[in-house]
Amino acid sequence: MLKENAHAPIWFNVGEASGDLHGAELMKQLREREPCLRFTGMGGPAMGALGFETRYDMGLISLVGITEILGGLPRILLLLRRIRLAFMAVRPRAVVLIDCPEFNFRVARMARELGIPVYYYISPQLWAWRPKRVEFLREHVRRVVCILPFEKDFYARHAMDVEYVGHPLMDVLPLERLDAMAVDENLVGLLPGSRTREVSTLLPEFAKAARLLREKRPGLRFVIVRAPGMDAERLRSLWGSDIEVEIVGPEARYETFRVCSMMLAASGTVTLETALIGTPVVVAYRVSALSALMGRMLIRVPHISLPNLIAGREVYPELVQERATARQLAAAATVWLDSPDALASVRRDLAGLRSMVGEPGAAARAAAIILDDLASLD
> Which residues are CB-contacts of 268 (< 8 A; sequence separation ≥ 6)?
18, 193, 194
Residues of the chain predicted below pLDDT 50:
1-2, 64-68, 288-299
10-168+361-377 under CATH 3.40.190.10, yes or no = no
Pairing type for strands 143-146 and 53-57 reads: unpaired
Return d(Cα 369, Cα 121) in angstroms, integer: 10
What is the pLDDT at residue 295?
A: 44
- Predicted structure pTM score: 0.79
The fold for domain 175-356 equals Rossmann fold (3.40.50)
The pLDDT score that the predictor gives to residue 304 is: 78
Q: Which residues contact 215 (CB under 8 A, 6 or more apart)?
A: none
Return the domain boundaries, the chain: 10-168+361-377, 175-356
Strand, helix or coil at 299?
A: coil
Order of strands across the sheet that contains 318-320: 246-248, 221-225, 184-191, 260-266, 281-285, 318-320
Contacts of 244 (CB under 8 A, 6+ apart): 221, 222
pLDDT, residue 63, reads: 53
pLDDT at 79: 92
Domains 10-168+361-377 and 175-356 agree in fold: yes
Q: Computed over its alpha carbons, how large is the radius of gyration of the chain? A: 21
Q: Which residues, in sequence order, are bridge partners of residue 10?
A: 39, 94
